[in-house]
Structure 1
Amino acid sequence: MLTGQQYKDSLRDGRRVYFEGKLVDDLESVPALAVPLQRAADAYDAYYDPAPDAVNPVTMAPRSPDELRNRIPVITEMDLLTNTTYQSLMTLSVAAARLEAHAPEFVPRIRQYVDGARRADVRIAECITDAKGNRSLSPSQQEDPDSYVRVVERRPDGVVIRGAKLHISAAAFGHDLMVMPTKSMKPGEEDYSIAAIVPVGAPGVTITNTTYHPRNRDDRDFPVSSRDSIPDSMVIFDDVFVPTERVFLDGQTAQAAVFAHSLGLWERLGGVSFMVQQADELVGLASLIAEANGTSRISHVREKIDEMMIHATLLRAGLEAALSHAQATPEGYYYPDDMYTNVTKYQGAAQFSTMVRHLHDIAGGAVVTAPSMSDFDNPDLAPLLDKYMGTGSGISGKYRTQLFHAIRDTTADSFGGWHHVTNLQSGGGMFAQRLVTRKNYDIERARELALKAAGLAGS
């Protein structure tokens, strides 16, 4: 296993990482990258075990419903890069089982990589969404054939790939990139049916970064995003060579969707687990700011908080149902029930804007107009700000202002906007959740009940 410092040192591999148009030689030299880098390093130190045969327990697959349930608090507390590594290794383990009957030549490679990745304590970023070009056209119909990642050359010792993957969280901080088809493919699209592991530092890999991390601002005004941010990247593959042992699918169109479907099992669990915690956090912020504003007993405020509590409880119930109905792969790895997980994620995404609207309505306009915390450092301003931002009864102006900044940071600024989009899109958009529900819902039982109610049963 690696220590945090060893992890940082391991990233000095000549990788081409850009931030705001500039090539970054040292990730720690850019504050917006240094903070999430340190968070990932801290996670290494938290799990570090010097024993020569030690592996990070987070990367091990749950072998029972109880183990799966116990993994939830770990998922919500771990850094995103460790989480994507866990999801990647679980994805590969499930995919290997699903390829056994149709593409068995890839199974030993996958299992060998999973075992080696655990032992080497590497971090993995998931690369699934392609540039896609014209969304109305299939990969083989695109004006630019590179709109989807594809094989441009096959050699005796490997393949050469070209294309780009978008929306890749933490790509600059990983060791490996898990590249997979973003969708099912059809005959004639063999070159797009490619799944492989690509080192971040491989020649031809270029990574751009964008982030909601606050820059050149007082961290106290961004109490969440200043300490817990992650960049999202475009990963460009410009004729990147991948050796045979790291190629996990090559040309098998019928199996192209195996990796994406396997990833969905684990990614949506992480998404739902976070949504449950986030919903409770919004309730807490609403309760605290209503108390600070002196409005906690007003009926419409109480009703909005009631709705937020009901929403949070329903999401938790959905997560509990997904865990209680956990299913097992043929190898005995447990994952949450598909339908309950997808229904819960759909509800969380569909109602998020309404819950945020309730919070903003309860809090008031100071969510975006409250003075900076640095204003309280000024001895001339501080007494006045404390006087006019305070509400009496032990509610100081500084305390109330801190609440406003927490609400703005998480719901009404860059970080909040990021949440609005990622709650909808991460793990597949809302349409994907509807499809899974349609596939798994017991519609025949519902029809039978309807016929019985109409007096038509048995007719």
Structure 2
Amino acid sequence: MLTGQQYKDSLQDGRKVYFEGRLIEDFSTEPGLAVPMNVAAEGYDKYFSAEPGALNPVITAPRSAEDLREKIPELLEMDLLLNVTYQSIMTLIVAASRIATSAPQFIPRIEAYIEKARRDDIRITECITDAKGNRSKSPSQQDDPDAYVRVVERREDGVVIRGAKLHISAAALGHHMMVMPTKTMKPGEEDYAIACAVPVNAPGVHITNTTYHPTDRDPRDFPVSSEKSVPDSMCIFDDVFIPNEHIFLDGQVEHAAVFAHSLGLWERLGGTAFMVEQADELVGLAQLIAEANGTQKISHVREKIDEMIIHATLLRAGLEAAIMHAHATPEGFYYPDDMYTNVTKYQGAVQFGTMVRHLHDIAGGAVLTAPSMSDFDNETLRPFLEKYMSTGDEVSGEYRTKIFHAIRDTTADAYGGWHLVTNIQSGGGLFAQRLVTRRHYDMDRAKRLAFRAAGLPSS
């Protein structure tokens, strides 16, 4: 296993990582990269063991529904890089079980890769969304054939790929990228049916980065995002060679969607678990600011908080249902139920904006206009700020201002905007979740009930 410092050292491997157009050689000089790198390093130290042969204990596949339930707190406590590594490995495990009969040649490779990845204690990020070009056209119909990642050359010892993957969280901070098809492919699109592991420092890989990290602002005004940020990347593959042992699908169009569906399941589980925690956090912020404003007993404020509580509780119930109805692979590994996971993720994403609106309505305009914490450092200003931001002897101006900053940071600034979009798009957009839900819903039973209600035969 690696220590946090060894992890940091491992990133000095010649990778081509860019930020605001600049090639970055030392992550520690860029706050938007340094902060998440340090968080990931802390994750390494947290689970480090010097015992010979020790493996990270959290990267283990659950063997029962109860194991799956116990994994949820770990998912929430993990740094994001470790979380996506876990999701990547679980994606391979589930996908392998689904292609074992019809594409058995890839199973030994997948199993060997998982074993080596755990033994080497590497971090793996998920690369699924392509540039896509014209969305009305399939991969093979694009004006630019590289709009979807594809194989441009097949050799005896591997393949060469070209294309780009977008919206990839923490790609610059990992060791490997798990590249997989973003959608179903059809005959004639064999070159696009490629799933493989790509080292971040492989020749031809270039990674751009964006971040919501408040790189040049007082971290006290950004109490959450200054401590918990992650860069999002475009991963460019400019004729990158992939050896055979890192190839997990190559040309089998009938299985192209298997990896995407398997990844979506684990991403949505992680996303749902976070949404449950996030929903409770929004309730807490709403209650705190209502109390600080002196409005906690006003009927419309209480009603809004009640709605937020109901939303949070329903999400928790959906997460519990996904775990209770978990399924097992032939090897005995458990994964959450598709329908309950997707329904809960969908509902959390759709209602997120409404819950935030309730919070903003309860809080008021000071969510955006509260003084900065550095204003409180000014000896002339502080007495005035304490006087006018206070709402009574028990609520200091600084206390109330800090709550406003927490609300703004998490819901009304760069980090809040990031959440607004990622809650919808992570694990696939809303349409993908509706599609999975319809596929797994018992429509026949619903129709039988409708026939009975109408007094019609159900034949």
Q: SS of 1:105's equivalent?
A: helix
**Residue identity opposite 1:410 in structure 2:** T
Instruction: Specify the alignment match of 1:217 in structure 2.
Output: 217
Matches within 5 A, 1:223-238: 223-238=223-238
Contact 2:448 2:458 in 1 (8 A): no
Contact kept in structure 1, 2:294 and 2:391, CA below 8 Å: yes
Counterpart Cα distance in 1 of 2:422 and 2:262: 20
Question: Which amino acid counterpart does residue 180 of structure 1 have in structure 2?
Answer: M
Between 1:103-112 and 1:352-361, the stretch displaced more is 103-112
Percent identity over the alignment is 74
Query: What secondary structure is seen at the aligned counterpart in 2 of 1:227?
Result: coil
Deviations 1:340-362 (A, max 9, x none): 11000110001000000000000
Q: Distance in 1 between matches of 2:265 and 2:437?
A: 14
* Conserved? CA contact 2:349–2:423, under 8 Å: yes
Which residue is 2:261 aligned to? 261
Is it true that 1:299 corresponds to 2:291 in the alignment?
Answer: no
Q: Report the 3-state secondary structure (helix = DSSP H, G, I; strand = E; otherwise coil) of the residue aligned with 1:265.
A: helix
Name the residue aligned to 1:34: 34
The residue number in structure 2 matching 1:246 is 246
> Paired residue for 2:313?
313
Q: Offset of 1:67 from its aligned partner? A: 0.6
Task: Measure the CA separation in 2 of the matches of 1:184 and 1:432.
Answer: 12
Residue matched to 2:342: 342
SS of 2:181's equivalent?
coil
CA–CA separation in structure 2 for the residues paired with 1:46 and 1:417: 30
**Which residue identity lines up with residue 17 of structure 2 in the other structure?**
V
* CA-to-aligned-CA distance 1:360-395 (integer Å, 9 cap, x gap): 000000000000000000111001000000000410
Where 1:257 maps in the other structure, the secondary structure is helix
CA–CA separation in structure 2 for the residues paired with 1:150 and 1:439: 29
Residue 116 of structure 1 corresponds to 116
Equivalent residue runs for 1:21-420 within 5 Å? 21-420=21-420
Distance 1:25 1:443 in 2: 55
State whether residues 265 and 427 of structure 2, in contact with CA within 8 Å, keep that contact through their aligned partners in structure 1: no
**Contact in 1 for aligned 2:152/2:160 (Cα 8 Å):** yes
> What letter is aligned with 1:185?
M
In the alignment, the residues of structure 1 paired with residue 266 and residue 349 of structure 2 have an alpha-carbon distance, to the nearest angstrom, of 17
Aligned counterparts of 1:63 and 1:54: Cα–Cα separation in 2: 20
Confirm or deny that 1:19 pairs with 2:25.
no
Q: Normalising to structure 2: TM-score of the pair?
A: 0.99
Shift of residue 457, structure 1, vs aligned partner: 4.5
Distance in 2, Cα, partners of 1:445 & 1:40: 47
Mind listing any 5+ residue stretches in structure 1 that lack a counterpart?
Answer: none
Looking at structure 2, the residues matched to 130 and 98 of structure 1 have their Cα atoms a distance apart, in angstroms, of 23
Aligned length: 459
Cα deviation 1:213-264 (Å, max 9, x = unaligned): 0021110000000000000000000000111111111111111111111112
Distance 2:138 2:456 in 1: 45
How many angstroms apart in 2 are the aligned matches of 1:175 and 1:335?
Answer: 25
Task: Tell me which moved more, 252-261 or 222-231.
Answer: 252-261
Q: Deviations over 1:88-108 (max 9, x none)?
A: 111111112222111111111
SS at match of 1:16: coil
Contact 2:221/2:405 (8 A) holds in 1: yes
* Corresponding residue SS for 1:58: coil
Q: CA deviation at 1:455?
A: 2.5
CA shift, 1:458, in A, is 5.7
In the alignment, the residues of structure 2 paired with residue 457 and residue 184 of structure 1 have an alpha-carbon distance, to the nearest angstrom, of: 38
Give per-residue Cα distances to partners, 1:162-211, cap 9 Å, x unaligned. 00000000000000010001111111111111111110000000000000
TM-score with structure 1 setting the length: 0.99
| Matching of residues 431-446 of structure 1 within 5 Å | 431-446=431-446
SS in 2 for 1:350: helix
Moved more, 273-282 or 442-451: 442-451
User: Would you identify which runs of 4 or more consecutive aligned residues in structure 1 move more than 6 Å?
Assistant: none
Structure 1 position 456, deviation (Å):
2.4
Displacement of 1:437: 1.2
Q: SS in structure 1 opposite 2:58?
A: helix
State the one-letter code of the partner of 1:139.
Answer: P
Moved more, 335-344 or 256-265: 256-265
* Distance in 2 of aligned mates of 1:454 and 1:147: 51
Q: Please tell me the residue identity of whatever aligns with 1:390.
A: S
Indicate the SS of the match to 1:209: strand
Distance 2:139 2:451 in 1: 45
Which stretch shows the higher mean deviation, 434-443 or 80-89?
A: 434-443
**CA positional deviation for 1:451:** 2.0
How many angstroms apart in 2 are the aligned matches of 1:456 and 1:127?
Answer: 50
Deviation of the 1:445 alpha carbon:
1.4
Give the superposition deviation at 1:323: 0.8
